[in-house]
A and B are shown apart, each in its own frame.
Chain A
Amino acid sequence: MAYGFILDDHTSFSAWRPLARQCFLADRAPEEIEWRCASAETTLFDTPLVAPTPKNGAEPPVLRSKCLALLRSILRHADQTRFALAYRILWRAQTEPALASIATDPDIARALNMHKQVRQDTHKMTAYVRFREHGVAQNGRRSFYAWFEPDHYVLPSVAPFFSKRFVDMDWVILTPKGSLAWNGETCAFSPTPCAKPKLSDDIDQLWQTYYVSTFNPARIKTKAMLSEMPRKYWKNLPETQLIPQMLADAPARVAAMAAQQPRPAPAFHHRLQQRHASAEEAPALVQKTQLGSGT
């Protein structure tokens, strides 16, 4: 028998907080507590877990706001050891209150790395979700669906971004880690995993036209592209399937530009030049007469 809890994968900070507090009030050190994920493989050595009982009159834990924010963030990470790391930081911060400011500490360095990954995942979701129009909702508003595969449990934290941006349309974002749905009033989060739907939208073609035309074949920097838009996002973006062809065609397009001989200018250019020349002569005449009248 050991102390600990079995937790759902999408356990958020607010669900974990009372459990951690319970362990702390029972004066259980990080080594004594096992935080087991429900989805983790069961092993032969798994022992049944019991929740520790708080001691009477124990002092509750205290955290600085910076540390609290860090724990809040790393609990969105998909790493199954996040609960243990968070409890260890909570435990250590009681004797080292400035702990979260020491980026060179091994626990904090790891937490900051997880925090960075969560932040990136959140940011990439705001960038790479693509809505596809799907008819009209019952309330007469336009209705959109999107499919996205986040690495971490970031849905609740991106919800405000989408519901404050796409206010005048209904939308649903489906992911393997749950879904978000907006109807103009409320944004509903559900942790139930979704399957990938079949989505299509005619506007995607215009977008592809734009994507191809805004690409400059004379400057190829695929490394820069991949560092910002790693391949894992490609399968759900409407534009990325065009990249191989764009790269394959680029050298020929550049060669064609270099080989092109200067051509005579179009007729309207000459008309413009003539008009310009006559406009330049006119003020010169005026100036001359002014000078003439002065002397």
Chain B
Amino acid sequence: MQYPTQEHNMNTMKQSLSDRLALLSDAAKYDASCSSSGAGKRDSAATKGLGSVSNGICHAFTPDGRCISLLKILLTNFCIYDCAYCINRSSSNVPRARFTPDEVIWLTLEFYRRNYIEGLFLSSGIIRTSDDTMSQMVRVARELRQTHKFRGYIHLKTIPNASPALLAEAGLYADRLSINVEMPTERGLADYAPQKHAGEIRHSMGEMRTHIDAAKDRTLTGRKAPRFAPGGQSTQMIVGADQATDRDILSSSSSLYTGYKLRRVYYSAFSPIPDASAILPVKAPPLLREHRLYQADWLFRFYGFQFSEITASRPDGMLDLELDPKLAWALANRAMFPIDLNRAPKEMLLRVPGLGVRSVQAIVAARRHRQLRLEDLAKLKVSIRKIKPFLYATGWSPGRLAEQQNLRQLFVPQPQQLALF
């Protein structure tokens, strides 16, 4: 098996389509975004073309635990920027390649026909000017939609400083647009990506938000506004490359979700790259930290938590790696528990460790008709062991369990003896 960055005569003039696919997907994989949902529902029944969009489907999984939903590639990995964390920075020695827009279109359609993917996620290194790069990407999206009647998902990466006209056209064809903030703090961005400016990135996000909001409104005469990225926008932050704490990261997320109405913020554990810059840490990606950040993100998006609550009890601003953030929050706020399974409001049930959104819905529906006992929760596949210190139920009171000083010991993973050899 040959891997793209092992330089097997990749720098020679003739690169086959397969060679370039290897290079340009390898170069795109550090972008964690894979979602193909949020754009509503549509299909090709009326247009007699190809493609549909509904809730998003993951068509394959790689051994790194990430899903493949979209064909995630770069138009080219030539780039005039020199961002330290990026495999495609201009000072890197990785082999360079480029696709023509027609090749990207062909790959997308052929992959789609075989049900490998939900659509295309197209990004690019920046060649010549921002507008030049952006117009090539827009051309791919336009021809897919107009010439090939493609109704699958299209996610375009927005190039900073591209002209408003190109942005509007991109929004017309794409389901989602995104621009990466890359680093959780402005300081981090200045250190690692000297040519990118946090202010410009935020400005682009603000513009996209205005466009997205405007597209949902009707005009004065009651006509529908032109389509603009119905799947909204998303972004990504790299975790663990700089000194930012989880509190920094989550407060950045908080402003992104509320200020720019992002659909998703992705957290990408900094991962070693081939031919890495000397200023980067050489270490394994902090996968558990990334996982905890996603859990915190979920608590904000679906469980009614504020990010500030989640990190409030952590003196060093880092999430607990041993316990999930909801459990850690509950242990730090013992005064709010136990609560009554049969009477507590839904908002409080959502805060009980071990209860997910679905089980809370099931509890709320069932308790209208019956008194619930602790054992009943086993039917909902809820862990009784985890939940019992936090709840009263018919026939159950946690009693001394809820008062116990070392409640945390019940939950932390048992220490394991290290292997001697």
Q: How far is the CB of B415 from chain A (nearest CB, A)?
A: 21
A90-140 residues at the B interface, CB under 8 angstroms = 98, 101-106, 109, 123, 126-133
Q: Are A219 and B4 in contact (CB under 8 A)?
A: no
Give every chain A residue within 8 A of B362 (Cβ-Cβ). 103-104
Give every chain B residue within 8 A of A217 (Cβ-Cβ). 64
Question: Which of B272-280, B295-303, B331-339 sits within the interface?
Answer: B272-280
User: If A242-B1, A253-B3 touch, does A215 touch B379 (CB 8 Å cutoff)?
Assistant: no
User: If A219-B285, A222-B65, A262-B277 touch, does A165 touch B369 (CB 8 Å cutoff)?
Assistant: no
Report the separation of the CA atoms of residues A201 and B115 in the bound assembly, to the nearest whole angstrom.
Answer: 13
Give every chain A residue within 8 A of B284 (Cβ-Cβ). 218
Contact of B68 among A211, A258, A272, A276 (CB under 8 A): A211
Q: Mark B1-20, 1 if CB is under 8 A from A, else 0.
A: 10110000000000001100
Report the separation of the CA atoms of residues A283 and B1 in the bound assembly, to the nearest whole angstrom.
Answer: 51
Q: Mark B198-221, 1 if CB is under 8 A from A, else 0.
A: 000000000000000000000000
Report the separation of the CA atoms of residues A228 and B276 in the bound assembly, to the nearest whole angstrom.
Answer: 32
Q: Are A258 and B272 in contact (CB under 8 A)?
A: yes
Q: Mark B361-404, 1 if CB is under 8 A from A, else 0.
A: 01001101110100011011000000000000000000000000
Closest to A268 in B: B90
Among the interface residues B30, B65, B274, which one has the most CB atoms of the partner chain A within 10 A?
B65
> A146: CB under 8 A from chain B?
yes
A235-279 residues at the B interface, CB under 8 angstroms = 237, 239, 242-243, 245-247, 249-250, 253-254, 256-258, 260, 262-263, 265-266, 268-269, 272-273, 276
Q: Are A254 and B272 in contact (CB under 8 A)?
A: yes
> B49: CB under 8 A from chain A?
yes
Q: How far is the CB of B1 from chain A (nearest CB, A)?
A: 5
Q: Are B63 and A213 in contact (CB under 8 A)?
A: no
> A286: CB under 8 A from chain B?
no
Q: Are B269 and A219 in contact (CB under 8 A)?
A: yes
Q: Are A249 and B3 in contact (CB under 8 A)?
A: yes
Q: How far is the CB of B350 from chain A (nearest CB, A)?
A: 17
Among the interface residues B43, B107, B368, B379, which one has the most CB atoms of the partner chain A within 10 A?
B379
> B91: CB under 8 A from chain A?
yes
Report the separation of the CA atoms of residues A213 and B66 in the bound assembly, to the nearest whole angstrom.
Answer: 13
Q: Are B63 and A225 in contact (CB under 8 A)?
A: yes
Q: Are A101 and B366 in contact (CB under 8 A)?
A: yes
User: If A225-B62, A262-B277 touch, does A249 touch B1 (CB 8 Å cutoff)?
Assistant: yes
Contact of B57 among A126, A218, A249 (CB under 8 A): A126
Contact of B22 among A123, A131, A212, A223 (CB under 8 A): A212
Give every chain A residue within 8 A of B114 (Cβ-Cβ). 130-133, 144, 201, 203-204, 207
Report the separation of the CA atoms of residues A178 and B58 in the bound assembly, to the nearest whole angstrom.
Answer: 25
> A214: CB under 8 A from chain B?
yes
Q: Are A206 and B379 in contact (CB under 8 A)?
A: no
Contact of B65 among A206, A218, A224 (CB under 8 A): A224
A65-84 residues at the B interface, CB under 8 angstroms = none
- Kindly count the residue-residue contacts between A and B in the assembled complex, taking CB atoms under 8 Å apart: 214
User: If A211-B62, A221-B65, A257-B274 touch, does A245 touch B149 (CB 8 Å cutoff)?
Assistant: no
Report the separation of the CA atoms of residues A185 and B271 in the bound assembly, to the nearest whole angstrom.
Answer: 49
Question: Which of A3-11, A39-47, A166-174 sits within the interface?
Answer: A166-174
Report the separation of the CA atoms of residues A235 and B276 in the bound assembly, to the nearest whole angstrom.
Answer: 37
User: If A167-B50, A265-B91 touch, does A223 touch B65 (CB 8 Å cutoff)?
Assistant: yes
Give every chain A residue within 8 A of B65 (Cβ-Cβ). 219-225
Report the separation of the CA atoms of residues A24 and B66 in the bound assembly, to the nearest whole angstrom.
Answer: 50
Closest to A246 in B: B63
> B60: CB under 8 A from chain A?
yes
Q: Are B45 and A167 in contact (CB under 8 A)?
A: yes
Report the separation of the CA atoms of residues A106 and B366 in the bound assembly, to the nearest whole angstrom.
Answer: 13
Q: How far is the CB of A27 from chain B (nearest CB, A)?
A: 26
> A53: CB under 8 A from chain B?
no
> B21: CB under 8 A from chain A?
yes
Q: How far is the CB of B30 from chain A (nearest CB, A)?
A: 8
Q: Are B72 and A214 in contact (CB under 8 A)?
A: yes
Q: How far is the CB of A163 from chain B (nearest CB, A)?
A: 8
Report the separation of the CA atoms of residues A126 and B59 in the bound assembly, to the nearest whole angstrom.
Answer: 8
B62-117 residues at the A interface, CB under 8 angstroms = 62-68, 71-72, 80, 82, 90-93, 107, 110-111, 113-116
Q: Are B365 and A103 in contact (CB under 8 A)?
A: yes
Q: How far is the CB of B122 from chain A (nearest CB, A)?
A: 14
Q: How far is the CB of A65 from chain B (nearest CB, A)?
A: 15
> A164: CB under 8 A from chain B?
yes
Q: Mark B109-140, 1 if CB is under 8 A from A, else 0.
A: 01101111000000000000000000000000
Among the interface residues B23, B47, B64, which one has the most CB atoms of the partner chain A within 10 A?
B64
> B37: CB under 8 A from chain A?
no
Contact of B18 among A201, A205, A272 (CB under 8 A): A205
By a beta-carbon cutoff of 8 Å, the part of chain A in contact with chain B is 98, 101-106, 109, 123, 126-133, 142, 144, 146, 161, 163-169, 184, 201, 203-207, 209-225, 228-229, 237, 239, 242-243, 245-247, 249-250, 253-254, 256-258, 260, 262-263, 265-266, 268-269, 272-273, 276
- Kindly list 14 other residue pairs between chains A and B, CB separation below 8 angstroms, not including A131-B115, A266-B93: A102-B366, A104-B370, A106-B379, A165-B44, A166-B113, A203-B110, A206-B107, A207-B111, A210-B21, A213-B25, A219-B65, A249-B3, A260-B276, A266-B90
Q: List 23 A-B contacts (CB under 8 A).
A: A102-B365, A103-B380, A104-B362, A128-B59, A165-B44, A165-B50, A166-B50, A167-B49, A206-B21, A209-B22, A210-B111, A212-B1, A213-B23, A213-B25, A214-B25, A214-B62, A220-B64, A229-B60, A237-B60, A249-B3, A258-B272, A263-B93, A265-B92
Shortest 7 CB-CB distances between A and B: which pairs?
A221-B65, A224-B65, A265-B91, A164-B43, A104-B376, A103-B362, A109-B379
